[in-house]
Amino acid sequence: MLLSLRKTQSKADVEPLLTLARELGYRTRFLDAGRHVLELVREDGSVGAPSDRSRIEELAVVKQVLDASDAPELTEARGATQPTVVRVGWAVFGGGQVSLIAGPCAVEELEDLVLVAHAVKRAGATLLRGGAFKPRTSPHSFQGLGREGLARLVAAREEVGLEFVTEVLDPRDVPLVADAADMLQVGSRSMSNAPLLREVGESGRPVLLKRGLAATVRELLLAAEYVLATGNPNVVLCERGVRGFDGVTRNLLDVGAVAHLATATHLPVVVDPSHAAGRSELVAPLALAGLAAGADGLIVEVHPSPGRVHSDGAQALSPSAFEELARDVRALARLRGKTLAVPRPEVPPVYEVEETAP
Amino acid sequence: MLLSLRKTQSKADVEPLLTLARELGYRTRFLDAGRHVLELVREDGSVGAPSDRSRIEELAVVKQVLDASDAPELTEARGATQPTVVRVGWAVFGGGQVSLIAGPCAVEELEDLVLVAHAVKRAGATLLRGGAFKPRTSPHSFQGLGREGLARLVAAREEVGLEFVTEVLDPRDVPLVADAADMLQVGSRSMSNAPLLREVGESGRPVLLKRGLAATVRELLLAAEYVLATGNPNVVLCERGVRGFDGVTRNLLDVGAVAHLATATHLPVVVDPSHAAGRSELVAPLALAGLAAGADGLIVEVHPSPGRVHSDGAQALSPSAFEELARDVRALARLRGKTLAVPRPEVPPVYEVEETAP
Amino acid sequence: MLLSLRKTQSKADVEPLLTLARELGYRTRFLDAGRHVLELVREDGSVGAPSDRSRIEELAVVKQVLDASDAPELTEARGATQPTVVRVGWAVFGGGQVSLIAGPCAVEELEDLVLVAHAVKRAGATLLRGGAFKPRTSPHSFQGLGREGLARLVAAREEVGLEFVTEVLDPRDVPLVADAADMLQVGSRSMSNAPLLREVGESGRPVLLKRGLAATVRELLLAAEYVLATGNPNVVLCERGVRGFDGVTRNLLDVGAVAHLATATHLPVVVDPSHAAGRSELVAPLALAGLAAGADGLIVEVHPSPGRVHSDGAQALSPSAFEELARDVRALARLRGKTLAVPRPEVPPVYEVEETAP
Amino acid sequence: MLLSLRKTQSKADVEPLLTLARELGYRTRFLDAGRHVLELVREDGSVGAPSDRSRIEELAVVKQVLDASDAPELTEARGATQPTVVRVGWAVFGGGQVSLIAGPCAVEELEDLVLVAHAVKRAGATLLRGGAFKPRTSPHSFQGLGREGLARLVAAREEVGLEFVTEVLDPRDVPLVADAADMLQVGSRSMSNAPLLREVGESGRPVLLKRGLAATVRELLLAAEYVLATGNPNVVLCERGVRGFDGVTRNLLDVGAVAHLATATHLPVVVDPSHAAGRSELVAPLALAGLAAGADGLIVEVHPSPGRVHSDGAQALSPSAFEELARDVRALARLRGKTLAVPRPEVPPVYEVEETAP
């Protein structure tokens, strides 16, 4: 590890760093006369534990790790790393496979939910989304149907044959939600919620981790690291737009982060064009931009009557608009050398099979 | 309430809004031919419930509430509202009183903690700060001493006679922390953590609520609203810098938000110059800037040997630098027509009193 | 026009607005009892001059124009507007045609310039880019070759048969640059430079207008309005990334703005992935993302030996990487229903024609 | 100089850097085995020319200058540097002196201008501000009175005895404006306008240089460097708020930058609370916050009837509000160990003196 140090008042200020480095098994050497640059080399030639960089970085005298990619953190793509492929039902994220997640923002009527689930599956979605526990800015806003919402998602899965991802907000709800859902979503507001990240990690379920509103890419990867550190390797990152200064879109979709993540981490990345756009007519262009930048999938809000819904209706696509988007996604994925995962085939009911057997 | 509406495809899209408004007891009237502006008036002339605005705003057709200050939310300052005064031990925030909170970033050695507590009390601080549960970006970083850290804070309070505020990260830890601490801190990363906000609200303890890294002022007030909605009125807001684009300071201290909050809410506001500055030499000027903008207090990191600490050492003041700052704060508070609250006086030990009694 | 007004101290504060509105030929009417919303209707039923909105908006009492799209500004797309198609040599921007602009950041050796020009033309570029006058943050940096740089661009055009666009920084240089160049670039740092915008407008040359580092979409359109107001309709807008908070890319490419502009203005929009990426390996994914979002072209830095150049070398593509990108662009344009304009065909020299004539 | 380098494909990529360094008279040495860190030392032990850092930094392989403060640029404060004190008439900026600049946003009626000038001088302002050439976002907005505006400022100076600063937008107008004005303002939109910076530098007039809307502190200092490089040492920097994401203030006043500049440069810094606030009631708190952070002066908009003006009226103070602010400024300056410069005393007219002589 190569460290750039702050100017210090006295030599003693560097002592804690030298001591820690030695305890962790590194030999230390200042490279320049001004003692600005310190080199740490493992005595045994090994790369050191994932935690070394984080422990060293947090000392006051350390300004920067200069050769950051040498830090062996769990999320980073290095030479021999295979891309992580995350499978949820018939959805596959990563390793050249692209999947579509779609559904309403919040779960409301079961009838509507089943209708949307059928429609998005028909169009090519392999995972249903829908909020039972909703993170809301105001305590006076609709907070989701909770347990009842989960039950409706389970019913829709039964009926339609489409696995689902849903958000969990409270570490105490993780067992409940993990019991019902096929994939757990950690929302943008919860990205830095360490107790929640640990719980979802330990649930063993695949995790969809959304980037915080003003989180750096490194902060997003370190949030993923909380999950990986529990031994759960199935994390899908999600770029959903960062806070910008212009109101033409709700958030600023950071396609540069998507392109960068494709080279920096072995984890798959999906894009949420709905929350970035905030207006339905911009959802399709942003979805395609995300894919073109290298995303391994999309998560899109679809609602049969967008004007009527409680939250985020302005950005939901109608089922037919989603169908059109899915067609373009298939073509674009092919262009970029990837394949769109296909939904579970409709199986004829068993009794029909028996009837046709002579 | 006066609403600006989005352009809609058909008249039917506005129906859910009209229905909801009527259910909430409002009469509705479009003011312009183009049906862009809708006026809602309570049938009975009253102002309506705090929740009305939030429920109406979340409908897809509503672009903006034009006369927003009419919205009767719990945090907003209106005509007759008295400023909320929050008292914690000898600290007083609001109503013309300013208080200093000071202490180490994380609780480490008890000896150091007591030393700092004595020093900051002597200088004029009325509340000790110190992290037992630390929110960390990386799972590999030091996460605080937890229960043991709480025990040391309690011991220091005993020894020095200085109440303390400490952060709680996990809703499941609230009973434990509320049992020990005099005030609960909700950190920047947790500002939008609704389950946590509800728990700290229900603990009945005063709450120090830090603004999220990219939270708008309205989002901060709505987070406070989660606490107030539990019936707990004792919330102190904290501005600690928002994410900026320039590295000269760690965060961008938003003194405009401080000045605005002083007129927009009845809740007191303190400023955290340490996390905004990120470098000890900028802490004092930022502290004074915050006060000049109208803050009701400061929360400052102080450490006996800043170079040595695990986290955030670069921004901690030495006890003597804090003493100098406290002197300037006292003078500036006076200039702005406010008073700096004074710490609990040192009481001579009881046996001495007995001995001198003839 | 429908205006939302600020709260005012007295009725007199609104007088200047009412007077101005009447002078401009509008009838005024307050729509609500609180006098927050004012409607302006032209006496003669017409839409009013492009300047009315700007003049009215700048009055202190006007908070917002609620029905902004009614404002008849020159850049806005309205019902019957045909998209503006800008042609420069064989390049065509808009109306379903996409064009590639490519070349070195700064013009240096003529030999290199000709080499790059040949390479990018062969790959499918229809316009050469190259800086003769360079905008530099530091006065000590290389400021470009100036007149000599222009001469080399002219020589390369002669030699290769590829028109060129180059930046002009100083209004006093516009005649000189317009005399040589086929299209004038107004750089990001100059977007708000009104004297320069007026001069380039009056030169009659097509203008490539880059968005400022933190300019809103409306500010970009109003900069274009300065050019259109001179009677010059040939403006191509350019999104090149806004200032973000994360260092993984040099700037944050705002594909949402690209998607929005495609619906909001009749002017064509191109994307500059090189300045957004700041690193060559991210240029292609950002270029494709921009196109997928709806751009009408790209402007890309290409250099035969990227490591060697004076400025911005880290983000330049090699000629072969550009060739690969151009292939993907052609396929993606087709997918999005657009056509990539083709370069001027190589014409066999005249004497050969004569020789083959019997 | 200590450089951190990018990872390169081949050793040849570093050659241009090594060659340039040698040409500039530096000896080069790689400090680590991985060739990430390069040390440059002057053969003759000198610090090198101001331009060296800029020339070296712009090479593609250079990631960062690690010991940046060693770079001997003209604006940087180093060991022995005396603070630059800029004097304009009776105004003094820097070296412990604080001055107030005040006046209308745009020059309109002469009568109003004289009235405001009298009022602000009486309150303690030592410099009048007023725009003759206005930078406007829209070409349809009022662009200022131009020459006629200058004439009125000159007439007001004559009448009231108060020097003035006014903005210049176009390098071609510099001689005209410099002939009339006592100090030239380079506005926020023009901070990166190199031709303009060179012209105002060469005019020899003191320059008030406003920070760009999203400019880093280093970019601001490099803009000042353009002026200093012409041999003109009289630059006053101005922090006026950067672009933020929240609408509660017009811009986000960066008091951290003010505090940092006080240590990083020898140039004086003033704060513009009016453009940061955007609302008159927030101007005084922001003004005091700026001073508390270390500013050497303020520039404040004052107008006799704020509601009536063409531009930026919502943020102008009335003369009496300014008087109150000036009182607070005087007290706060004293607290921070500084002195508020006093305006030119009123001299009794000469003929009266003669008349009273017996």
Read off the CATH number of the domain in which D92 is found.
3.20.20.70
Does the residue D66 lie in any domain?
yes
Q: Are D173 and D146 in contact (CB under 8 A)?
A: no
Q: Is A61 in Cβ contact with B307 (below 8 Å)?
A: yes
Among A178, A157, A158, which Cα is nearest to A167's? A178
B174 in the same domain as B322: yes
Q: Which residues contact A62 (CB under 8 A, 6 or more apart)?
A: A3, A4, A5, A6, A17, A56
Q: Is D276 in Cβ contact with B285 (below 8 Å)?
A: no
Distance CA D13, CA C314 (A): 11
Alpha helices in A95-239 (DSSP H): 110-123, 147-160, 174-180, 194-203, 217-228
Predicted pLDDT at C63: 84
CB-nearest to D189 from C192, C306, C314 is C192
pLDDT tens string D101-148: 999 999 999 999 999 999 999 999 999 999 999 998 888 887 889 999
Higher per-residue pLDDT: C191 or B315: C191
* Token pair of D141 as six digits: 């907005």
Q: Which of A274-288, D153-167, D280-294, D302-316 has the lowest mean pLDDT?
A: D302-316
Tell me the pLDDT band of D96, cut-offs 50, 70 and 90. very high
The domain boundary residue, chosen from A70, A100, A116: A70
Q: Contacts of residue C39 in chain B, CB cutoff 8 Å?
A: 32
* Token pair of D76 as six digits: 């940087």
Q: Contacts of residue C262 in chain A, CB cutoff 8 Å?
A: 285
Distance CA D168, CA C193 (A): 11
Question: What is residue D347's DSSP assignment?
Answer: P
Tell me the pLDDT band of C66, cut-offs 50, 70 and 90. confident
User: Cα dihedral angle (D285, D290, D291, D292), rounded to 10 degrees?
Assistant: 80
Among C271, C264, C209, C270, which Cα is nearest to C234's? C209
Helix or strand holding residue C298 (H, E):
strand C297-301
Predicted pLDDT at C315: 86
Q: Contacts of residue C51 in chain D, CB cutoff 8 Å?
A: 140
User: Cα dihedral angle (D70, D72, D74, D78), rounded to 10 degrees?
Assistant: 50
Distance CA D261, CA C277 (A): 30
Q: What range does the domain containing C296 cover?
A: 86-340
* Token pair of C119 as six digits: 């390479």
Residue B130: phi and psi, rounded to 5, are 175, 135
Q: How many domains does chain D have?
A: 2
C186 in the same domain as C63: no
Does the residue B52 lie in any domain?
yes
Q: Contacts of residue A314 in chain B, CB cutoff 8 Å?
A: 6, 60-61
Q: Is the Cβ of B4 closer than 8 Å to some Cβ of chain C?
A: yes
User: Cα dihedral angle (D267, D273, D278, D283), rounded to 10 degrees?
Assistant: 180
C193 in the same domain as C99: yes
Among C64, C3, C51, C5, which Cα is nearest to C25's? C51
Predicted pLDDT at B70: 44
Predicted pLDDT at C143: 86
Sign of the CA dihedral running A61, A63, A67, A71: positive
The domain boundary residue, chosen from A19, A44, A70: A70
Q: Is the pLDDT of residue D69 over 60?
A: no
Q: Which of B46-60, B99-113, C22-36 has the lowest mean pLDDT?
A: B46-60
C281 in the same domain as C134: yes
Strand pairing class (C127-129; C164-167): parallel
pLDDT tens string D9-62: 677 778 888 988 998 899 998 888 888 889 888 888 777 777 788 788 878 788
Predicted pLDDT at C70: 45
Does the residue D99 lie in any domain?
yes
* Token pair of C314 as six digits: 């880290």
Query: Distance between alpha carbon D124 and the CA centroid of its chain, in Å?
Result: 20
Q: Crossing angle, helix A283-292 and helix C255-264, to 10 degrees?
A: 140
Does the residue B81 lie in any domain?
no
Q: Contacts of residue C307 in chain D, CB cutoff 8 Å?
A: 8-9, 12-13, 16, 60-61
Q: Which amino acid is at A40?
A: L
Nearest CA in chain B to D264: B248
Does the residue B357 lie in any domain?
no
Q: Which residues contact B165 (CB under 8 A, 6 or more apart)?
A: B88, B101, B127, B128, B129, B181, B182, B183, B184, B185, B208, B299
pLDDT tens string D310-331: 556 678 999 999 999 999 999 9
Q: Are C167 and C187 in contact (CB under 8 A)?
A: yes
Predicted pLDDT at C308: 59
Q: Is the Cβ of D291 closer than 8 Å to some Cβ of chain B?
A: yes
Q: Is B242 in Cβ contact with D252 (below 8 Å)?
A: yes
Q: Is the Cβ of C244 closer than 8 Å to some Cβ of chain B?
A: yes
D53 in the same domain as D124: no
Question: What average pLDDT does the structure give for chain C?
Answer: 90
Q: Which residues contact A176 (CB under 8 A, 6 or more apart)?
A: A147, A150
pLDDT tens string A335-351: 999 999 999 987 655 55
3-state secondary structure of C101: strand
Q: Which of A212-226, C117-131, D17-31 has the lowest mean pLDDT?
A: D17-31
Residue C86: phi and psi, rounded to 5, are -105, 125
According to DSSP, the residues that pair with A76 across neighbouring strands are A265
> CA neighbours within 13 Å on the CB side: how many for B17?
32
CB pairs under 8 A between B and D: 126
Q: Which residues contact B347 (CB under 8 A, 6 or more apart)?
A: B161
Q: Is the pLDDT of residue C292 over 70?
A: yes
Strand pairing class (D164-167; D183-186): parallel
B52 in the same domain as B168: no
pLDDT tens string A297-312: 999 999 987 655 555 6
* Token pair of C61 as six digits: 């009492």
Please work out, in degrees rounded to the nearest 5, the angle formed at the alpha carbon of residue D320 by the alpha carbons of D319 and D323.
90
Q: Is the pLDDT of residue A117 over 70?
A: yes
Helix or strand holding residue C153 (H, E):
helix C147-160
Does the residue D355 lie in any domain?
no
Query: What does D72-95 look like in DSSP terms, one character per residue?
Result: --TTB--TTPPPP-EEETTEEEBT
C134 in the same domain as C7: no
Q: Are D240 and D275 in contact (CB under 8 A)?
A: yes
Tell me the pLDDT band of B299, cut-offs 50, 70 and 90. very high
Helix or strand holding residue D261 (H, E):
helix D255-264
pLDDT tens string C215-271: 999 999 999 999 999 999 999 999 999 999 998 899 999 999 999 999 999 999 999
B145-153 long-range Cβ contacts below 8 angstroms, 24+ apart: B145/B106, B145/B107, B145/B108, B147/B176, B149/B106, B149/B107, B150/B176, B150/B177, B150/B180, B150/B181, B151/B180, B152/B107, B152/B110, B152/B113, B153/B107, B153/B113, B153/B128, B153/B180, B153/B181
Distance CA D31, CA C168 (A): 42
Average of per-residue pLDDT across B103-129: 96
- pTM for the full model? 0.92
Average of per-residue pLDDT across A176-193: 98
Average of per-residue pLDDT across C22-29: 90
Q: Which of C45-59, C303-317, D13-27, D278-292 has the lowest mean pLDDT?
A: C303-317
Query: Distance between alpha carbon A41 and the CA centroid of its chain, in Å?
Result: 34
A154 in the same domain as A24: no
Per cent of chain D over pLDDT 90 is: 65
Tell me the pLDDT band of C312, cut-offs 50, 70 and 90. low
Q: Which residues contact B158 (CB under 8 A, 6 or more apart)?
A: none
* Token pair of D335 as six digits: 């607290």
Q: Are A302 and C276 in contact (CB under 8 A)?
A: no
Question: What average pLDDT does the structure give for chain D?
Answer: 90
**Count of H-run helices and E-run strands, chain A:** 12, 15
Q: Is B37 in Cβ contact with C66 (below 8 Å)?
A: yes
A218 in the same domain as A130: yes
CB-nearest to D331 from B248, B293, B335 is B335
D174 in the same domain as D54: no
Nearest CA in chain B to C64: B66
Predicted pLDDT at D310: 58
Q: Which of B104-118, C52-66, D78-92, D180-194 has the lowest mean pLDDT?
A: C52-66
* Token pair of A242 as six digits: 């960062």
Predicted pLDDT at D32: 83
Q: Is the Cβ of C7 closer than 8 Å to some Cβ of chain D?
A: no
D132 in the same domain as D239: yes
Distance CA D314, CA D308 (A): 9
Does the residue B76 lie in any domain?
no
Q: Is the Cβ of C262 closer than 8 Å to some Cβ of chain A?
A: yes
Other C-beta atoms lying within 10 Å of the C-beta of residue B49: 14
Does the residue D351 lie in any domain?
no
Q: Is the Cβ of D36 closer than 8 Å to some Cβ of chain A?
A: yes
Q: Contacts of residue C52 in chain D, CB cutoff 8 Å?
A: 140
Q: Is C244 in Cβ contact with A254 (below 8 Å)?
A: yes
Per cent of chain D over pLDDT 70 is: 92
Nearest CA distance, D289 vs chain B (angstrom): 4
CB-nearest to A243 from D4, D37, D245 is D245
| C residues 72-91 closer than 8 Å to D (CB) | 73
Distance CA D300, CA D238 (A): 12
Q: Is the Cβ of B39 closer than 8 Å to some Cβ of chain C?
A: yes
Mutation target to probe the C interface, by most C beta carbons within 10 A, among A246, A252, A328 is: A246
Predicted pLDDT at D52: 84
Tell me the pLDDT band of A266, cut-offs 50, 70 and 90. very high
CB-nearest to C140 from D50, D172, D311 is D50
Tell me the pLDDT band of A70, cut-offs 50, 70 and 90. very low
Q: Contacts of residue D5 in chain A, CB cutoff 8 Å?
A: none
Per cent of chain C over pLDDT 90 is: 64
Tell me the pLDDT band of B357, cut-offs 50, 70 and 90. very low
Predicted pLDDT at D116: 96
Instruction: Count the helix, strand and coil residues of chain B and give each as a percent rounded to the nearest 5.
Output: 40, 20, 40
Q: Is the pLDDT of residue C354 over 90?
A: no
Task: Let me know if A128 is exposed, middle or buried by CB neighbors in 10 A (0-12, 13-18, 19+).
Answer: buried
Q: Is the Cβ of B252 closer than 8 Å to some Cβ of chain D?
A: yes
Q: Which residues contact A218 (CB under 8 A, 6 or more apart)?
A: none
ipTM score of complex = 0.91
Q: Which amino acid is at B309?
A: V
Q: Is the pLDDT of residue C76 over 50?
A: yes
Nearest CA in chain A to D66: A4
C322 in the same domain as C224: yes
Distance CA D287, CA D325 (A): 8
Q: Is A32 in Cβ contact with D31 (below 8 Å)?
A: yes
Q: Is the pLDDT of residue C311 over 70?
A: no
Residue B108: phi and psi, rounded to 5, are -120, -105
